[in-house]
């Protein structure tokens, strides 16, 4: 890899966030991993069947596709490996989930929607937080960039 490529990888992986970021990684990664696995374990209720019910196009493709991204992204976040990159598809995932399942609920009232959307909002904001700060000092990202002698300010 040339110097430009190494610099780009280092900038994406580097993090100066504290070790306590691992707590956010644990909750965000575990929930995404669990939800992705459940799309395959319970396809009628949480995978293809649910996607068809809420009107997501091509549910036979999009539900497993989404499940794979949730499993892969969740694992990467748990490990703190390519944390920022892993959050991007998961942020898109949460925006689609909110738009397709929570915004239509506003007709039932704000508080009912707020109650049902609490996990989605938490996951969205947790993923955005990790996009901004990276994996923290207890992450593979930090170990990889520490070996190269660089950190992110």
- Rounded Cα gap, residues 127 and 97, in angstroms: 14
Q: For residue range 84-123, what is the model confidence (pLDDT) as tens digits? A: 999 999 999 999 999 999 999 998 899 999 999 999 999 9
Q: For residue range 19-32, what is the model confidence (pLDDT) as tens digits? A: 999 999 999 999 99
Task: Locate the domains of the chain by residue range.
Answer: 20-134
Count of all residues that appear for the chain in the document: 153
Q: Which two tokens stand for residue 61?
A: 């493709």
- How confident is the model at residue 149, as a pLDDT? 52
Phi-psi sector, 56: left (phi>0), alpha (psi -120 to 50), beta: beta
| Band (142; pLDDT cuts 50, 70, 90) | very high
- Rounded Cα gap, residues 153 and 132, in angstroms: 12
């Amino acid at each position: 890899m040339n110097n430009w490529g190494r610099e780009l990888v280092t900038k994406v992986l580097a993090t100066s966030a504290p070790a306590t970021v691992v707590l956010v990684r644990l909750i965000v990664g575990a929930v995404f991993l669990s939800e992705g696995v459940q799309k395959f374990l319970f396809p009628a209720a949480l995978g293809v069947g649910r996607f068809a019910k809420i009107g997501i196009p091509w549910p036979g493709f999009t539900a497993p596709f989404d499940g794979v991204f949730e499993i892969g992204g969740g694992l990467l976040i748990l490990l703190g490996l390519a944390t920022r990159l892993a959050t991007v598809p998961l942020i898109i995932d949460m925006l689609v989930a909110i738009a397709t399942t929570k915004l239509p609920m506003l007709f039932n009232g704000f508080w009912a929607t707020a109650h049902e959307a609490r996990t989605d909002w938490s996951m969205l904001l947790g993923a955005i937080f990790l996009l901004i700060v990276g994996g923290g000092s207890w992450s593979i990202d930090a170990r990889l960039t520490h070996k190269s002698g660089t950190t992110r300010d």
